Amino acid sequence: MLKRLILDFAYYLQTSQSYQAKKKFFYNLLENDNCPYKKYVDMAMMTLIFVSVAVLIREVKFHVGDYMLFFSNYIISFVFFVEYMLRLWVNSSVSEIIVARAEHDTFLLRDVNLVKAFKIVLQLKLKYMFSLQALIDLFAILPFFHELRLLRIFILFRVFKLFRYAKSFQTLSSVLATKKFEFFTLAIFASIVIFVSSVLIYVMEGNNANSPIHTLFDAIYWSVVTISTVGYGDVTAVTQEGRFVAMLVIMAGIAVLAFTTSLFVSAFTEKLQEIKEMKIIEDVSKLKNFYLICGYERVAKEVSSKLAHRGKRIIVLDADEKRVEQAQKDGFIALHYNPGSVDSYKKLNIDINTQVKAILCLREDDVENVYAALTIRSLNKDVFILSLLMNDANRKKLTFAGINKTVYPQELVGLITKELVGKPVAFEVIHELRSENSPVMVDEIGITSRIVENFLTVKDLDNTDYKIVLLGVYKQKDDRFYFNPLDSTFIEAGDYLLVIGYKNFIKEFEQYLHTKVKHG
């Protein structure tokens, strides 16, 4: 009966959308760095930590008001307790484990073994509870029992909690963790030196009345101060034998210090690129509406610079380190990732649907572009992909790979020469209109419902007052372009006006369309 109830409840939780949504919400708030609200939670927690440490420091020599003590001991502890419980909750899913076990046993026509399921749950929860971060969280709650004076020192554990909230601390520990073995060797070496030198100095100086070293603790203190090359001078060797030991310890100390410094430096040097990359990835995951450029060669370089000039965001991916370096030198966010690998996009942690405006496969190699396009299509069916086509024989392959638009430079040359030969002046006019450097340009003005309220027909636009040629109106709903429309043509929201004129006049005209006071 109880088993049935537990199973029903687990299934209920597992299928309850509101429960899962709440759990996900708290998970994102506490653990997901990409959640926009997490940073506010982290900042609030850090403020609480600093408040409680400030109270602890103030309390040493001054009286702290009861309300402040209450806040520090109870309110902050309670907040940390709630946080601890929430982390314990979101860390693993009990209902999921029970349901998985039930499904497994039912499939094998066995009686559902809930004990096994609870065993796994217990293992997972205990594993979390005994993790360093969870232990720090737990100790940070202990000042709640502030009557036990010793436990007040646990307020300092709250400082350790900062490691959880400050990303740079996490980076530091991850960097140092890469040299675990080296640091361990160093610790063993330093311990042996300290142990041997402490015993030696104690033996040499312990019975000398003039020596400040009377106990083994004094000897260890002297050793540590000497080996660290700090040398306060409050405890010094006075016998010749003792001074000989001191010389040896000083030399060993230099070695330990040099070893430690080199370990830190090498750990950071090795990880520097990775740290930079992590930072870039973190920034990229927050970007919206950017162009992803796969491959950075001549055309890609030019396209990137033109898009950047128009204020568009660009992210470059390339498998070649030199090209990535070049893109970075050109001022773009560039990552040394293979655009043809699914892993690259997973590592990037971007949502192609919501963040990427279009993907441009601009390698001057059809094979590479097809490969990258297929990889992208395997991840996302809808994103717009544009690709360079270097050999017309491969056009079908590119289309088959899911590329929406191909640009074939050779074909462009053919078309351009045809126009150049037939209508050189007209060609140059159109070319000028398309060029970024020309003062006269062609532009698209989107019609909003606000504009429609003020301008009903083409006649109302008064574009000639702004020295603007209205080439036509594009009606999105019919996917049709109406060239040189009649004055009586109605303008609708969603339409686009294709206008030709001086950049500044087009800007003014656009402003006029948006700001005109409503008729009547």
Binding region for another protein (CB under 8 A): 291, 298-299, 302-303, 306-307, 310, 312, 357-358, 360, 362, 386, 388, 391-392, 405, 407, 409-430, 432-436, 440, 442-444, 467-469, 471-472, 474, 481, 483-484, 496, 498, 500-502
Q: What whole-number distance in Å separates Cα of residue 159 and Cα of residue 335?
A: 35
Q: Which is nearer to another protein, 322 or 405 (CB)?
A: 405
- Secondary structure class of 477 (helix, strand, coil): coil
**H helix or E strand, kind and range, residue 123:** helix 114-129
> Which residues lie closer than 8 Å to 56 by C-beta, 6 or more apart?
72, 152, 155, 156
The full DSSP string for 378-394 is: HH-SSS-EEEE-S-GGG
Q: Which is nearer to another protein, 8 or 465 (CB)?
A: 465
DSSP label at 471? E
Shortest reach from residue 442's CB to another protein, in Å: 5
Q: Which is nearer to another protein, 367 or 420 (CB)?
A: 420
Q: Which is nearer to another protein, 39 or 423 (CB)?
A: 423
**H helix or E strand, kind and range, residue 292:** strand 290-294
Q: Which is nearer to another protein, 174 or 399 (CB)?
A: 399
Q: Which is nearer to another protein, 248 or 299 (CB)?
A: 299
Question: In which order are the strands placed within the sheet that holds 496-502?
Answer: 440-446, 496-502, 469-475, 480-483
Shortest reach from residue 491's CB to another protein, in Å: 15
The CA-atom distances, in angstroms, between 152 and each of 55, 57, 60, 160, 163 are 11, 11, 12, 15, 20
Alpha helices, DSSP H, located in 161-286? 162-165, 167-177, 180-205, 216-227, 240-286
Shortest reach from residue 368's CB to another protein, in Å: 17
Shortest reach from residue 353's CB to another protein, in Å: 18
Q: Which is nearer to another protein, 340 or 501 (CB)?
A: 501
Question: In which order are the strands placed within the sheet that holds 356-361?
Answer: 333-335, 313-317, 290-294, 356-361, 385-388, 405-407
Q: What whole-number distance in Å separates Cα of residue 42 and Cα of residue 37?
A: 9
Q: Tell me if 99 sits within 8 A of 11, measured CB to CB.
A: yes
Shortest reach from residue 377's CB to another protein, in Å: 19
- Secondary structure class of 287 (helix, strand, coil): coil
Shortest reach from residue 467's CB to another protein, in Å: 4
Q: Which is nearer to another protein, 151 or 299 (CB)?
A: 299
Shortest reach from residue 405's CB to another protein, in Å: 6
Q: Which is nearer to another protein, 339 or 501 (CB)?
A: 501
Shortest reach from residue 28's CB to another protein, in Å: 33
The CA-CA-CA angle for residues 408, 410, 411, to 5°, reads 70
Shortest reach from residue 128's CB to another protein, in Å: 47
Q: What whole-number distance in Å separates Cα of residue 324 and Cα of residue 328?
A: 6
Q: Tell me if 157 sits within 8 A of 145, measured CB to CB.
A: no
